[in-house]
């Protein structure tokens, strides 16, 4: 088992299923018995180079609910790679804390942290991946559909970090993943290569279409995310123009089965990638998924932070 959580690709199917099983169990335990002290006295250092509501709160609340604490580091103060090398920061943090949670622009920065840290490094979103989001989605789909294998998920939007991690979840669990995006916004060749290996091994399928209507046909869930991710602000006008036909609205939903669910990683730009009526409909489970971020990440912390490790 990888010591870190950087991408889902680095993990085995059994490990992914292990995270999901534990997440269901600790959600149930938390709702019936409240907090426990499995990580009593343990600490996680959190580095957020980009804004966050969900990820930051759920890691901090999660650590507290497990009897530990999270320390939020101001990225401007520690200036990773500038004030000191990433290696030296990783060496130092590893002497004090039990986990490092990092949200960075560059994916390489997180992999470099992981290369040098002797404590687990957890990817809290990079430009390329958002594994914690995908785990929370997996839990949410299992809650609503009772399984993952064989389900069809249509990701309508950018082939971005969230799409990459969700496609990896699908590849590990035998789902059918469809990316519906404008031409030129597909996932990178490198990501697709990793995905194809997963789908070949585990079943399911990977399809790309440039037609949103065709993409949602037969879908069990339509997923979307912002058209302009953090750090891409300069491309906002151009991307918004290209993505207009990919809005998740009532017209698009009418092309999917009546029982098709909808989700979004949030924050949503309502009126752009999704309409208010769809967000507010009973089919939209995005807040269930947001809730499950808490449980999924507690499961990750419990799996990766080894009690008595020191």
Q: Which of 35, 53, 197, 254 binds ligand CP (CB under 6 A)?
A: 53
- Report the residue closest to ligand NVA, judged by CB: 229
- Residues near ligand NVA (CB under 6 A) are 125, 160-162, 225-226, 229-230, 265
For the chain, the distance separating the N- and C-terminal CA atoms, rounded to the nearest angstrom, is 19
Tell me 261's DSSP state.
E
Residues in the chain, total: 310
3-state helix, strand, coil in the chain (%, to 5): 45, 15, 35
C-alpha 47/C-alpha 196 separation (Å) is: 32
The item of ligand CP, ligand NVA, none sharing an interface with residue 101, based on CB under 5 to 8 Å by kind, is none
The item of ligand NVA, ligand CP, none sharing an interface with residue 53, based on CB under 5 to 8 Å by kind, is ligand CP
At 222 the three-state DSSP class reads strand
* Residue 103 annotated in active site: yes
* Residue 241 annotated in active site: no
Cβ contact 139:20 at 8 Å: yes
At 177 the three-state DSSP class reads strand
Does 279 bind ligand CP (CB under 6 A)? Our answer is: no
Cβ at position 125, least distance to ligand NVA in Å: 6
Q: How many residues bind ligand CP (CB under 6 A)?
A: 9
Within residues 213-232, the interface with ligand CP by CB under 6 A covers none
Cβ at position 125, least distance to ligand CP in Å: 6
* Residue located via tokens 């990783």: 90
C-alpha 134/C-alpha 129 separation (Å) is: 9
C-alpha 125/C-alpha 133 separation (Å) is: 9
Does 102 bind ligand CP (CB under 6 A)? Our answer is: no
Q: Which of 133, 160, 165, 224 binds ligand CP (CB under 6 A)?
A: 133
Active-site residue, from 260, 265, 284, 286: 265
Would you give the binding string for ligand CP spanning residues 5-44, x where CB under 6 A is met? ----------------------------------------
C-alpha 291/C-alpha 113 separation (Å) is: 28
| Active site amino acids | 103, 130, 133, 225, 265, 293
Contacts with ligand CP, residue ranges (CB under 6 A) = 52-55, 125, 133, 265-267
């Amino acid at each position: 088992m990888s010591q870190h959580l950087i991408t889902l690709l680095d993990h085995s199917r059994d490990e992914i299923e292990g995270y999901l099983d534990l997440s269901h169990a600790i959600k149930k335990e938390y709702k019936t018995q409240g907090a426990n002290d499995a990580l009593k006295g343990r600490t996680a250092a959190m580095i957020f180079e980009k804004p966050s509501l969900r990820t930051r709160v759920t890691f901090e609340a999660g650590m507290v609910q497990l009897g530990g604490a999270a320390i939020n580091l101001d990225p401007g103060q520690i200036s990773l790679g500038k004030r000191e090398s990433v290696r030296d920061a990783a060496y130092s943090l590893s002497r004090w804390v039990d986990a490092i949670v990092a949200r960075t622009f560059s994916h390489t920065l997180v992999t470099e942290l992981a290369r040098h840290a002797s404590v687990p490094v957890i990817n809290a979103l990079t430009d390329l991946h958002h594994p914690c989001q995908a785990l929370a989605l997996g839990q949410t789909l299992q809650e609503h559909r009772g399984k993952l294998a064989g389900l069809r998920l249509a990701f309508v939007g950018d082939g971005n970090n969230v799409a990459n991690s969700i496609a990896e979840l699908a590849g590990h669990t035998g789902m059918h993943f469809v990316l519906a995006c404008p031409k030129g916004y597909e996932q990178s060749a490198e990501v697709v290569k990793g995905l194809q290996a997963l789908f070949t091994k585990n079943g399911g399928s990977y399809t790309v279409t440039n037609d949103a209507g065709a993409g949602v046909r037969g879908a069990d869930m339509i997923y979307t995310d912002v058209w302009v991710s953090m750090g891409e602000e300069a491309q906002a006008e151009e991307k918004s123009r290209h993505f207009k036909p990919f809005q998740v609205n009532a017209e698009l939903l009418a092309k999917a089965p009546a029982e098709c669910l909808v989700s979004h990683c949030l924050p949503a730009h309502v009126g752009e990638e999704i309409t208010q009526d769809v967000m507010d409909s009973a089919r939209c489970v995005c807040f269930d998924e947001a809730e499950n971020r808490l449980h999924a990440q507690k499961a990750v912390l419990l799996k990766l932070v080894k009690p008595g490790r020191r």
